[in-house]
Amino acid sequence: MILTFAGGVGGAKLAHGLSLCLAPAELMIAVNTGDDFEHLGLHVSPDIDTVMYTLGGCADRERGWGRSGETWNFMEALERLGGETWFKLGDRDIATHVERTRRLRNGEMLSAVTADFAEKLGVRHAIAPMSDAPVRTRVHTDEGDLDFQDYFVRRACKPRVRAVEYFGARDAAPAGPLNRAMSSPDLRGIVICPSNPLLSIAPILAVAGLRDWLSRRKVPAIAVSPLINGAAIKGPAAKILRETGMGANCSSIAQFYCGLIDGLIVDPGDVAGTRPPEGMQILSADILMRDDADRKRLAQVALDFISRLKSRR
């Protein structure tokens, strides 16, 4: 079994690629919930939905979020009633939030609701939130401290980031499905998807016991760089890495994952400039995922890398 950590769009793409290479029992996708928030009284889990819609074949590929063939009549009617419209929710998408909120209020775990929704959408591989307990990413900026979606959507990532905090993470245990994968004798490797390190992967690593477990793991772990030539494919990763002083380059990514991974996959153009910590191998591969074939190809590269690292361990 392969355990993968995923955040937003890039993470969903590689997770999808892995699902095209592995049987359902061979993959567990643990997803960041630091971006989750209550909006309009509804529990919204943006990263879970992006992964779920992507694997369910109903994600919008142009927009990068929400569902394909979406309509916006809810939003239009909400605007007329004076409701908040800075966070866009499509007519189909809102069914996810309404029904999830209802079930959570009814006492169900987010992991149970996620597993059920994914199955209903035709996803055969396991998707789980990193934790069933709330973790909320908060961004400290030069314009004050902002809730994640305030920073990410409402302010369009414009304020300068000083630090990122993951409220609740210390007290949040890994969700049941993730916990079972972590202790499974069948676990043969870990893949950290090309998601934003500070916004998507760090909240997962902050979950109680997870970083410690990852540093002591007996199986190989690798990550895929979210940067190509110092720029993110999508999103503010490069900007935030610069603003926090880490640097928008693959050496910073390697340093960020120091002690947690055995190998890092970087774009061919980044190999020469990447200085990994001792013991971390760098693998060169085309990491841009333009289509399903790219997703599957990169996933297979990651899986082969893990197999090679395993034989060395």
Q: Cα–Cα distance between 66 and 84 in angstroms, integer?
A: 18
The answer to whether 33 touches 48, Cβ cutoff 8 Å, is yes
The answer to whether 203 touches 169, Cβ cutoff 8 Å, is yes
The nearest distance, CB 78 to a second copy, in angstroms, is 4
The nearest distance, CB 223 to a second copy, in angstroms, is 33
The nearest distance, CB 108 to a second copy, in angstroms, is 12
Task: Work out whether 82 is an interface residue with a second copy (CB under 8 A).
Answer: yes
Task: Work out whether 78 is an interface residue with a second copy (CB under 8 A).
Answer: yes
Residue nearer to a second copy on the CB measure, 70 or 132: 70
Compute the half-sphere exposure of residue 169: CA atoms within 13 Å on the CB side of its CA. 23
In terms of residues, how long is the chain? 313
Q: Residue 104: phi, psi to the nearest 5?
A: -65, -45
Task: Work out whether 49 is an interface residue with a second copy (CB under 8 A).
Answer: no
Residues 18-47, mask of contacts with a second copy (x by CB under 8 A): ----------------------xxx-----
Distances (CA, A) of 234 to 63, 65, 197, 228, 313: 11, 12, 13, 11, 34
Write out the two tokens for 11: 């993470």
Task: Work out whether 81 is an interface residue with a second copy (CB under 8 A).
Answer: yes
Residues 85-114, mask of contacts with a second copy (x by CB under 8 A): -----xxxxxxx-xx-xx--x---------
Q: Cα–Cα distance between 3 and 26 in angstroms, integer?
A: 9
The nearest distance, CB 153 to a second copy, in angstroms, is 18
Q: Which of 35, 47, 70, 150 binds a second copy (CB under 8 A)?
A: 70
Name the residue type at position 31: V
- Using CB atoms within 10 Å of the CB of residue 105, give its burial: 0 to 12 exposed, 13 to 18 middle, 19+ buried: exposed
Residue nearer to a second copy on the CB measure, 42 or 233: 42
Q: Cα–Cα distance between 108 and 175 in angstroms, integer?
A: 13
Task: Work out whether 156 is an interface residue with a second copy (CB under 8 A).
Answer: no
The answer to whether 72 touches 90, Cβ cutoff 8 Å, is yes
The nearest distance, CB 63 to a second copy, in angstroms, is 16
Task: Work out whether 80 is an interface residue with a second copy (CB under 8 A).
Answer: yes
User: What residue ranges bind a second copy (CB under 8 A)?
Assistant: 40-42, 67, 70-71, 73-78, 80-83, 90-96, 98-99, 101-102, 105, 116-117, 120-121
